[in-house]
Amino acid sequence: MKIEARKVVTLQYDLYVDGENGNEEMMEKATAEAPLVYCHGEGMMLPAFEQHMEGLQEGEAFDFCIACQDAYGEYDDEGVLTLDKKMFYNGDGEFDSERVFVGAIVPMNTVDGQVINAQIAEITKDHVTIDLNHPLAGENLHFVGKVLNIRDVTEGELKALHHRGCGGGCGGCKGSCEDCGSECNCN
C-alpha cells in the first residue's frame, strides 16, 4: 500500500533545524513506540510535508528538507507584541504566574474572537511580551525517518476529523454540523 489521500500513515522520524555554525540541531523525534499518526490529504500536516510523503510505501525510508517559506514562514518581528501585564491577571486581580511564565504557550483572543496561541517571551514589572510566530517560524526543516504503517481511514475517523475541523461542539452558532449531526461552531 502506498501513501495517498485518506490513508492513515504511521511514521517514525527525526526533525532537524539549522543550528549554530551550519550544524543541524535535533528539534523533535517520533519513535516507533511513540510515532506520528496522521490522515494523509486531510490537512493535518504541512502541504509540503504531504507532498514529500505522497507515494511512499510501508517500510520505506525518507530524507527530505522543507524550506521555511514552505513550512511555517519567515520569522515576523511584527508578531512580537508588548502588552499590559494586567491582561494576564487571574480572577483574584493578581498576575497569573502559574500559567504565565517565560516560554509558556497561552491562548489569546483576537479582536474578532479568534483564539490564537502566543508564547511568553518576556515579563517585566508592567508588561508581558508575547510572540505570535510559530515556534518553527524561520526554520528550514529536515525530516529523516521511515514509514511504519499505512491503512485505509475509517468512516468514523473521517467524521471525527471533520467534526473537529468545524469546532467540535465548543460554541459559536450552536448549529448542527452536516458531517456529524452534532452541535458545533459552524461559523
Residues in Cβ contact with 38 at an 8 Å cutoff, skipping those fewer than 6 apart = 8, 9, 11, 44, 45
Mean pLDDT of the chain: 87
Q: State whether 146 and 94 are in the same domain.
A: no
- What is the residue-level pLDDT of the chain in tens, covering all 187 positions? 999 999 999 999 999 998 888 889 999 999 999 999 999 999 999 999 999 999 999 999 999 999 999 999 999 999 999 999 999 999 899 999 999 999 999 999 888 888 999 999 999 999 999 999 999 999 999 999 999 999 999 998 888 887 754 444 333 333 444 444 444 444 3
Nearest to 182 by CA among 171, 173, 168, 172: 168
pLDDT of residue 164: 59
13-23 confidence digits (pLDDT tens)? 999 998 888 88
List the domain range (segments joined by +) for residue 143. 7-72+137-153
The CATH number assigned to the domain holding 94 equals 2.40.10.330
Question: Sign of the CA dihedral 163, 164, 165, 171?
Answer: positive
pLDDT of residue 185: 41
Domain assignment of residue 22, yes or no: yes
pLDDT of residue 159: 87
Domain assignment of residue 171, yes or no: no
Instruction: Give me the number of domains the chain comprises.
Output: 2
